[in-house]
């Protein structure tokens, strides 16, 4: 797998990625900074499928653009716990990617252990 193929797998279509980055770059500084932080978190913990990830990031850009246009403060958008916001945001897209796979494996292992105990 070449670098181009790997990049496409990770972030999907490069034009879509560039358009998303341009949208984020056009935001006022506080929204752009928050968007960069959430993006970094999603890139590390979100889906491994480029299309699914880009859908999430496009929706994040929509949220940030609308919030900036409406004058909603960044803290009001992301709440007191930005990690919980990001996790709830990801849950809206299902449990894809390696993190969701590992969470399912963990739940299945505990269920199997419970069955082995006869509970």
Q: Model confidence over 45-103: pLDDT tens digits?
A: 888 778 888 999 999 999 999 999 999 999 999 999 999 999 899 888 876 566 667 77
Q: Note the CATH number of domain 3-94.
A: 1.10.1900.10
d(CA 87, CA 84): 5
Mean pLDDT of the region 12-25:
89
Closest CA to 1 of 41, 42, 50: 50
Residue 97 pLDDT = 62
pTM of the model: 0.74
- How confident is residue 105, by pLDDT bands cut at 50, 70 and 90? confident
Residue 49 pLDDT = 78
């Amino acid at each position: 797998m070449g670098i181009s193929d790997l990049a496409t797998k990770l972030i999907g279509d490069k034009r879509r990625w560039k358009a998303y980055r341009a949208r984020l770059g056009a935001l006022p500084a506080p929204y752009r900074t928050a968007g960069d932080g959430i993006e970094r978190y999603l890139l590390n913990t979100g889906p491994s499928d480029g299309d699914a990830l880009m859908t999430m990031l496009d929706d994040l850009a929509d949220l940030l653009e609308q919030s900036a246009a409406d004058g909603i403060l960044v803290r009001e958008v992301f709440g007191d716990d930005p990690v919980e916001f990001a996790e709830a945001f990801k849950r809206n897209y299902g449990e894809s990617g390696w993190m969701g796979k590992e969470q399912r494996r963990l739940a299945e292992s505990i269920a199997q252990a419970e069955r082995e105990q006869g509970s």
